Structure 1
């Protein structure tokens, strides 16, 4: 990746001090504080302050879907009516859609690049029509281009496309799949309809192929969908069930009403009722389940006759409520597995809503099944084989947390994994601390030592590896060995350090909430986030965004000498600091004196603007016995051996 240079400055209020900086081998201040990042907006539709400009636009995709599930053939047949509205300033002569199921067909790019299994076969189209006429379309891997006979007019034109198709579900798929349990199959169904690619003001059509690692970038719209399948199955899906009286028993309807008013988890289907006639209004034939979801970028669903089902009320800001639900097989019953799932789900949504942005959907569902952990608007798929409460909690919190990133803040996951995975992991950290007085805290996502207590230093082995990569790289380009470390852990910890070490919680949280508010149900790019944080905090943090997200630089702060004015400690001391690698950060010092006085000093990042060596003039009152750089080990300093100076190891030098 070609490295960009960026403007970087940052101001901190510090103790009064004077000093001078000099160049140090291994550090170039011109790179660290280069002026060439974000010098102009990415487009006239995005403000330089990181928020949508007055003429920001995005297109809209509305879907009506009728699908049937064949539980013998494990196949879905569907009809989709897509209404696409072009709000862009451009006439569009063709459309691009993503065909997620084509990852699982023979010869797919993902089968070669990432080893995706291909026994399911992908989408099989019976027809694609516009105005009752066969459309001119071409399919290439996971992408479909529809070539229009008449362009869609800019600023409000629309077109309606009707698809008839089918596809199979296989146990070897991921994000979609099936598994056998003692009471029947569980189907997790996603990427199940042709989805519009996003046409935006940054790249036009976003058509990177779906290979597996890179996730999704979807257009917002309204969904009406219905699933027809054998009557003994239960269906749960994104959004609101619109015909509960037709598909649930009277007892289940009563229990749902009770759960909607209860902070305690209530059964809708008990473990004892699973597979019995009491669980269904009818046991033969088929039923059609109907769902509606507004202003969403996607929908998914799951079905099984093996579900235990429970639910509880979610308390949202301004007195609003939603419903948290969990479905899971009897094999997953137990406090070490899924019995507390709704409790975890409820807390997570309440925490994220109160702290960052209110949950926008009427229902949230945690679904136990074959998919180990995957998020969609209003629901998440999690493994039915959870074995410990802590794992069940943090996977549940993480997957439902994705409703904030990227379901509400609709970033491009296919291109930038860090802005959804890392940002979501960041908010998970504080939710996990908050849950039940820290029952499962702290949250750890480290690759090296999951039980380590120092997340900054846990990153050092990765940062010093010759295989280290920049976070900003494409999701499908990142090596799998370190993909989690980069997109989740390092990205999230970058926000932790910005919040807890550089800015402070008040300034960071205000700016972060402003970013979410401005970009809710819109499409921000990474630079929009960096600009928004710079503006709302009042700090030009480009020096930090560059070093942490765009580069593979490392940090090595050192204290190398202490001297006294006229060899008299009461006249003041001079502490020599060095920045030995390319990354810079503010410097925190703990200074201990012989008279027992202990002082914590925070020096601004600007001390490195004139070079990598800085002399700090400290108003000592007695002989200094030790100086520690980064005393609480808050930073990923790659060499801790030079962070400590002790008088016993040095002779006093005269000024």
Structure 2
């Protein structure tokens, strides 16, 4: 988003807008940094002034029953689904919208056009064989979907009133893309194929109180989905194992007695239990049936999506996850033989268990029966209760990616923000929480991790971010996600957004105020759809702080910070009466900072300067006391802030 568009979107005053259009120029103007921040999203009965859902907040619901069959010879998936869609909105709906992400792989898709480069691979997209709709208990009526790229409009035979339900039935099939599928597809391991199936069925678009139907096409950003309960059945060749979101409902039909016993043991064990060892891969005795097919049935409540992976070459292990209030879940890992061993995927379940326990303890309890990590072709992708990582991942890289991907269980799987529009609200938030998991795991075995790409080896993140802040082409965090190019996607959407939250927690609010506000935000918006303004308001209100200067400088703009010590003087020119240290803001971004003063008598004084030090003027004389001369005055002595010029952070008086 341009600076001008940012100003217009958030209702900044004309005077501030005039200043903002020159935001790339250095200099500090307190009326610009501290200008009133008015959000475009109105406070109403749906979304309250405190950033939480209002007394009449509503959200539609989609419950699914899906039957699918995987044909590994033809590389196709054939399916049928029944969607029970509940209109909880106050509006009467005349159409429904579906998302058809498989159409991304068509050669003329908008996503391929937006990529601006060579097409990696294509399929014919998804074929909808038939569709019917039954409105409010009436008889089903055949409808013809109006397909537009990765969306389909279903015109209702009769309008769907507020509070009523529509039952949609669809039959579909498609060719599964190869590794070019990116977030889903099939690929080869050493001993056979692995199928990572996601975005694998037609899904309801969201109808919300902000935009009505939110039907952004699938270009490259992720998803925005309604919550509901899922039952799904996947039929595969009998030699395959299926790892799926949720709880396996028919283990007696698809597992051997030995595997069921081992699974029961894993539910009670804090140590990893092997369900099928790498040595057992290919052993006929590890499958309950030879030849033909088996159907795996999974169930999951209160989720926006489900995904699964299937292969005949999986090893499988698991361990208990201990959750607050005595509850438990199950950490599981599925991987081919070449990924086995303690230096590789042999520790995956340990990583998953620790991450889920830590995130649950710190932020919000994990709600689902399993947390599954799969080694396959769709590396580095997340879905509720299951994540896809790389066959070659190992050591700290496997830990970091496993913790990050399962961390998405909180953002956006529990807190259901709109990834299509506001990718920073899942990637940035999740990168933020997984930095603490890296600090905590096994006494810091893989810490610190501030960003795997931009701060390798745990470099100081406030230094690593400086080139991004100095880049005039770098977009603000609050930009439409599809407009952020790959050059900036990671550095801005992940790293900068996460660092903005760490600075907010560590340097601006402190742990207690931040944690209470952040936990309250998560709990209030669990299984709901918050927007950026909701988050900003929630943190302001609960933390008791007007953070508009921080939202504007770090999130809505890409401003730089340059705080300096420019002089030392004394009350009545007498050091015994106390010293005055002049601090100055030389660029647009400011934040609280520590001022350290060392005196000639050997004493040292640290003072915390609030952001309001610069609310009326760029330069402030800070009374620091003391009874002897100042030897040295330093801003940010512990190097905690992203100051672009540290050469002026210290001042040594002459003489």
User: Is the deviation greater in 329-338 or in 403-412?
Assistant: 329-338
**Are 1:129 and 2:132 counterparts?**
yes
| CA–CA distance in structure 2, aligned partners of residues 475 and 641 of structure 1 | 36
**Residues 96 and 207 of structure 1 are in contact (CA less than 8 Å); yes or no, is this contact kept in structure 2?**
yes
| CA–CA distance in structure 2, aligned partners of residues 454 and 78 of structure 1 | 50
The residue that corresponds to 2:400 in the other structure is 394
**Are 1:336 and 2:350 counterparts?**
no
User: Is the deviation greater in 244-253 or in 543-552?
Assistant: 543-552
Residue number among 549, 553, 557 corresponding to 1:543 in the alignment: 549
Task: For residue 497 of structure 1, report the CA deviation from its aligned partner.
Answer: 0.6
Cα 1:513–1:222 change in 2 (3 A) is same
Task: For residue 570 of structure 1, report the CA deviation from its aligned partner.
Answer: 1.2
CA deviation map 1:429-457 (0-9, x unaligned): 11111110110000131654423531112
**Are 1:217 and 2:217 counterparts?**
no
Matches within 5 A, 1:376-415: 376-386=383-393, 388-415=394-421
Give the match's secondary structure for 2:483: coil
Task: For residue 262 of structure 1, report the CA deviation from its aligned partner.
Answer: 0.3
Matches within 5 A, 1:64-83: 64-83=65-84
Task: For residue 565 of structure 1, report the CA deviation from its aligned partner.
Answer: 2.5
**Residues 43 and 201 of structure 1 are in contact (CA less than 8 Å); yes or no, is this contact kept in structure 2?**
no
Task: For residue 39 of structure 1, report the CA deviation from its aligned partner.
Answer: 8.4
Cα 1:118–1:107 change in 2 (3 A) is farther
Cα 1:558–1:456 change in 2 (3 A) is same
Task: For residue 36 of structure 1, report the CA deviation from its aligned partner.
Answer: 3.4
Residue number among 555, 564, 567 corresponding to 1:558 in the alignment: 564
| CA–CA distance in structure 2, aligned partners of residues 365 and 25 of structure 1 | 49
**Residues 324 and 365 of structure 2 are in contact (CA less than 8 Å); yes or no, is this contact kept in structure 1?**
yes
Residue number among 415, 421, 430 corresponding to 2:427 in the alignment: 421
Cα 1:208–1:40 change in 2 (3 A) is closer
| CA–CA distance in structure 1, aligned partners of residues 597 and 483 of structure 2 | 45
| CA–CA distance in structure 2, aligned partners of residues 517 and 359 of structure 1 | 12
Task: For residue 134 of structure 1, report the CA deviation from its aligned partner.
Answer: 2.0
**Residues 246 and 300 of structure 2 are in contact (CA less than 8 Å); yes or no, is this contact kept in structure 1?**
yes
Give the match's secondary structure for 2:617: coil
| CA–CA distance in structure 1, aligned partners of residues 6 and 31 of structure 2 | 14
Task: For residue 195 of structure 1, report the CA deviation from its aligned partner.
Answer: 0.8
Give the match's secondary structure for 2:343: coil
User: Is the deviation greater in 480-489 or in 249-258?
Assistant: 480-489
Cα 1:363–1:449 change in 2 (3 A) is closer
The residue that corresponds to 1:514 in the other structure is 520
Matches within 5 A, 1:540-619: 540-619=546-625
CA deviation map 1:235-294 (0-9, x unaligned): 010001110000000000000000000000000001111011121011200111001111
**Number of aligned residue pairs:** 631
**Are 1:233 and 2:240 counterparts?**
yes
Query: Which runs of 5 or more residues in structure 1 are unaligned?
Result: 9-23
The residue that corresponds to 2:90 in the other structure is 89
Cα 1:226–1:563 change in 2 (3 A) is same
The residue that corresponds to 1:502 in the other structure is 508
| CA–CA distance in structure 2, aligned partners of residues 432 and 547 of structure 1 | 28
Matches within 5 A, 1:265-414: 265-386=272-393, 388-414=394-420
**Residues 125 and 164 of structure 1 are in contact (CA less than 8 Å); yes or no, is this contact kept in structure 2?**
yes
| CA–CA distance in structure 2, aligned partners of residues 133 and 201 of structure 1 | 28
Residue number among 452, 460, 466 corresponding to 1:454 in the alignment: 460
CA deviation map 1:192-238 (0-9, x unaligned): 011111111011111111011x1111100111100011111000100
**Are 1:481 and 2:487 counterparts?**
yes
TM-score by length of 2: 0.94
Residue number among 125, 131, 150 corresponding to 2:158 in the alignment: 150
The residue that corresponds to 2:16 in the other structure is none
| CA–CA distance in structure 2, aligned partners of residues 283 and 592 of structure 1 | 79
| CA–CA distance in structure 2, aligned partners of residues 598 and 70 of structure 1 | 73
The residue that corresponds to 1:200 in the other structure is 208
Task: For residue 305 of structure 1, report the CA deviation from its aligned partner.
Answer: 0.6
**Residues 96 and 145 of structure 1 are in contact (CA less than 8 Å); yes or no, is this contact kept in structure 2?**
yes
User: Is the deviation greater in 289-298 or in 442-451?
Assistant: 442-451
Task: For residue 181 of structure 1, report the CA deviation from its aligned partner.
Answer: 2.1
Cα 1:327–1:446 change in 2 (3 A) is closer
**Are 1:263 and 2:270 counterparts?**
yes
**Residues 104 and 117 of structure 1 are in contact (CA less than 8 Å); yes or no, is this contact kept in structure 2?**
no
Residue number among 496, 513, 523 corresponding to 1:490 in the alignment: 496
**Residues 240 and 291 of structure 1 are in contact (CA less than 8 Å); yes or no, is this contact kept in structure 2?**
yes
Task: For residue 147 of structure 1, report the CA deviation from its aligned partner.
Answer: 1.1
